[in-house]
Amino acid sequence: MSTTPVALRKTPLNGLHRRLGAKMVDFGGWDMPVEYSGLIAEHMAVRTGVGVFDVSHMGDLQLRGPGSLGAVQHISMNDAARLQVGQAQYSAMLYPEGTFVDDIIVHKFSENDYLFVINAGTREKDYEWVRAQARGFDCHVSDYSDYYTQLAIQGPRAQETLQKLTNTDLSKVKFYWFTWGTVCGLPNTLIARTGYTGEDGFEIYIPSDEATSERVWNEVMSAGVEFGIVPCGLGARNTLRLEAALSLYGHEISESINVWEAGLDRFCKLEKGSFLGSAGLQGVLDAGGPARKLVGLEVVERGIARDGYRVMDLSGNSIGGVTSGSPAPFLKKNIALAYVPRSFAEVGTEVAVEIRNCPVKAEVVPLPFYKKPKKG
Amino acid sequence: MAYPTNYRYTREHEWIDVSGKTATVGITDHAQDSLGDIVFVELPKVGDKVEKGKVFGSVESVKAVSDLYSPATGTVTAINEELTTAPEKINADAHAAWIMKIELSDPKEIDSLLTAADYEAYAKEETGH
């Protein structure tokens, strides 16, 4: 038997990444840059200056029609009725059991118009799910994923960088709000103050033709020169989000992990009324709450905890597993997110991570590992 | 970066520099480039017996762990302790940042290892460009 290799999907900036000498990897079927100059330098640029990421692999689903709010409320766990036009919220789509289809960002474009930004690896599944679940609501679902090149400009100098390329006053756009403005001469560009780095920053959505995508990328790079801007790959994106303890689908959240376990309670509004997953989550509460919890671990002995490593108690009994683990370039510690029984979830609890057949001590620490400094 | 012609190489991306019965071992420039920023090196201990083709330690970058395979059989006589605190020296100059020195049990083992030219061709093929 032979298998035909499936062609990797490419973003409109694929050629540019290769010309820049990026190391490319297969990320959920996408040929994406994992690093350019070096993961640590890219990570530090975002924490201290500014970096730009091609995140065009992310999906964009639009729900429009008089029944769109009803559909959004049914399909997602956060309360979209609280959103104002121009505001976004972190949310998730759940199976009836209260486990994850995907995590999403919901943007309210107008009373009858919402945008879900969804993960790359789950695009087709999500689209089918949303279409199926929106049936019965007076609402049309469209997949606009291939219409946009999405750039994330992230870091404490992101605002100053992007401000050079638009007349829109970015200081008026609050965190998790968005607006439309002219960016690099492109009118009606969606500019959202969102990101996945634990840092201030913006995500812009521009037409996905290669020439426009490359032109805007290059203008962003030029605008950021004085702030030390660097192109950043998925490697830095992962370590940045891990320091900020942001969940990654397939790691901290999945179809077999529920909202309470993942600690995403504050984005789940049971009080808004029945929605997909609410009954299952109520059932978990009625049964006494989740048996396991996501915790932050700091490895206190020498060693790096990585995805999939076993977590043990100090007697060597297996109690859980690491979902994401890495050296943290800014914090200069070895950190991990892991699921452990509730009785081990208290901050200060000592556990061990099995690193290459050796138990290495780790301690439960508060999350997030990193919080961006307040602007003074 | 050029591959020293007086070194020999493994398909697992180690180099070995033989001088009589003793040899110095490290990882190649291609290996450090594939790994990215190296943050951790697990060294063997002086006195450890190492065996050709068997794991003697590991290097870790931010993204990945990679085992170290000994190019030859022998006994560890020295380790580069500097790598414990400055593992990035391997990124800076992989062909100088040695990991261990060994006393060879059988210097003839070296003959089966790749030459610089063979290794360079092999590494190119592996990256596909």
| Element housing B32 (H / E) | helix B29-35
Confidence at B127, pLDDT banded by 50, 70, 90: confident
Residue of A nearest to B42 (CA): A303
Residue A62 β-bridge partners: A115, A142
Which tokens is A5 given? 């290799």
Which tokens is A97 given? 């059991």
Confidence at B57, pLDDT banded by 50, 70, 90: very high
A318, A312 Cβ separation under 8 angstroms: yes
A112 and A62 in a common domain: yes
pLDDT, residue A2, reads 47
Pairing mode, strands A230-231 and A51-54 = parallel
Closest CA to A221 of A297, A165, A277, A263: A165
Select from A224, A259, A288 the last residue of a domain.
A288
Domain boundaries, chain B: 8-127
What residues in B contact A34, CB-CB < 8 Å?
63
What residues in B contact A235, CB-CB < 8 Å?
36, 62-63
pLDDT, residue A3, reads 52
- Give residue A52's region: left, alpha or beta (phi > 0; psi -120 to 50): beta
For the stretch A272-310, pLDDT in tens is 999 999 999 999 999 999 999 999 999 999 999 999 999
Count structural domains, chain A.
2
In angstroms, the separation between the Cα of residue B125 and the nearest Cα of chain A is: 16
A336 and A261 in a common domain: no
Residue A246 in 3-state DSSP? coil
Fold type of domain B8-127 = OB fold (Dihydrolipoamide Acetyltransferase, E2P) (2.40.50)
The torsion of the CA quartet A54, A335, B58, B99, rounded to 10 degrees, works out to 90
The answer to whether position A40 is within a domain reads: yes
- Rounded CA-CA distance A207/A212 in Å is 7
For the stretch A334-365, pLDDT in tens is 999 999 999 999 999 999 999 989 999 999 99
In angstroms, the separation between the Cα of residue B20 and the nearest Cα of chain A is: 34
What residues in B contact A326, CB-CB < 8 Å?
62-63
Which tokens is A353 given? 């991570």
What is the pLDDT averaged over residues B21-25? 96
pLDDT, residue B129, reads 46
Tell me how crowded residue B113 is: count the other CB atoms within 10 A of its CB. Answer: 20
Q: Where are the alpha helices (DSSP H) in chain A?
A: 14-19, 39-48, 68-75, 123-134, 158-163, 210-223, 234-243, 259-262, 278-286
A42 and A56 in a common domain: yes
The answer to whether position A370 is within a domain reads: no
Cα distance from N-terminal residue to C-terminal residue, chain B: 16
